[in-house]
Every structure is written in structure tokens, then in C-alpha cells.
Amino acid sequence: MFSHSKQLLALSGVCLSAFFAPGAHASLVPWVGTANYLAASGAAGDEDSVGPFSSYDFASGGVVLIKPDTIVTPGVFTVGDTYHGYYQSYVTRHMLGASTVASPNLNTTGSGAGYELTIAADFTQQVVGVDAFGNPTFAVNPGGGASIYFDTTSDYNFAADSGFANGSAILTGNIIGGGGAYLNSFGVGVSSIDLTVAALGFDPTVFEPDTISGSEGVFTLRLNPNGVTAQVSAVLGHQATSGDLKLEADGNLDLLAVPLPASLLLLGSALAGLGMTARRGNSQGLTPLLA
């Protein structure tokens, strides 16, 4: 079989997708609200109050470093092999559905005025299957986490491996699972990680309403030796060594809200039914049940 590097280098457009995808949050509903960064810890007064929005869009030039953890044979995918991944990037815009929501003071350059929002995450994944062509499928193990940071100093720097996990964490979560696969014949892959936001996992002074309960999304990764990864020697303090993969990442993070309890949904349905009865009764000259 080809080594990991040869498998990937043989493809002109290798893609993976990773991080925070649907699965565990089927019962949750989209969160739509505002983020008042003027109220964030350390705010300088030149931030924005953004919204309504429902998701964060990250830079196409983010970076993931994937390191072998416990493997049977170097250069060969084997069921049971585990890998650790480290990801860092920055927010380029706020989204409401497919529309961009204005955030004029959000800085996406890594220097200059305004504020920046960055993301840092780590995760583990395990090979659970390998097909006849050496294409692996993965399961993402529970563990690791992700945080979005607010920083009044725009200072992210991929080459220096700095500025991504500083400032104040305004949204923090634990990774609870996911899965995916390399599809080498098409030069693409799909994987995902589910993220839940733990108690006190977001800054309620920033987000309104304070009903965020989780998040989900899909990130696309690709090998690009001439891109931003050419500058990178470490990610989140972890040095890239022989046998590791450095991949560019693009993606988004959709926020989820706490759903109404079933009892309240039933109550709402009942009240709606009473309202309809009242309207019908009133149209027949009867006393309405509800005003």
C-alpha cells in the first residue's frame, strides 16, 4: 500500500471534512440571536453588536495537524489505529442561513485595528475500517474540545503558531463523537465531529438569548503544500514531524439552541387548539373561550 503521504500527494485535490457535524443534536433546534462583543471581557469599545446570526464561517486557510497516536504499521492504515488532530483558524464572517451578517469591525488580517475571533480545537479519531483500495473510515472518539476566542488585539499568526488561543474564550465545548472516511478515488473525504457546549460553555453577557446548547458543522480539508501549511511548523504548540499531515481547512459552525420541552410544545398545541375553537365559536355568535 501507499504511505499516508504518498496516498495524499498522489491526489491533486485531496479533501477531508472534519469537525462538528450533525448527529447527536437531532433533537435540538438552530440558535438565532446576537453577539454583543462590546460586552465581552476586555472589550476596547471598537467592537460590534452582531445579529441576528446563527453560524460562524471560518477561513479557508485554517490549518489541521494530524499526528499518528497508536498505529500498527507506519504508512499503512490499519483498523484500530488512532490519530490526534489539532486545528486553528479564525472567523471571517457571521452568517444567518446563506446570508452574511454585517460585522464591520471584525478583523480577519491578523494585524491592525478592530477585534478578532479565533478557534482552537483538538480531537482524536480511530480507524474502524479499510477497503480494498486502502481507503480508511474513521470514528471520532469522545474527548478533546474546541473554543472560540475573542481578542481585542488582532494577532493570529500561523507561521509563529500564536494568537489563536488567547484573549477570552466566549464559546467552549467538548467533542463527543463523529466519524468519516477518505475517498481516495475522488480525492475527497468526509468526516465529522459533534460538539456539545457544556454548562457555562458560553459567555451570557455576549450572546443573547443565552440558550446556546451545542453546535454542528462540516469542515473541508485539503492537502496544499504551497498554501498556508507551507508556513506552519506547529499547531497549538504541537510540532509537525515526519509522518504527520498538515492540511488546510475551511468550514463553518452552526449554533444550536435548547429545544422547548415536550410538555411545553403540547401546551402550545393545546392553546392553539383552544384559540381555533374560540374563533369558530365567535363566528357562530358564541362566547369565545379565549380573547
Give the least confident one: 9-18, 65-74, 183-192: 9-18
Identify the pLDDT of residue 277.
Answer: 39
Query: Are the beta carbons of 128 and 137 closer than 8 angstroms?
Result: yes
Q: Residue 227 is inside which H or E element, if any?
A: none
**HSE-up of residue 23 (Cα within 13 Å, Cβ side):** 19
Identify the pLDDT of residue 218.
Answer: 72
Q: What single DSSP character describes residue 286?
A: P
- Average pLDDT in the 48-76 region? 94
Question: Cα dist. 186→12, 16, 107, 190 in Å?
Answer: 10, 11, 36, 11
More confident residue, 136 or 241: 241
User: Mean pLDDT score of the chain, rounded to an integer?
Assistant: 78
- Rounded to two decimals, the pTM is 0.79
| 87 confidence band (pLDDT: 50, 70, 90) | very high
Extents of the domains making up the chain: 4-259, 260-291
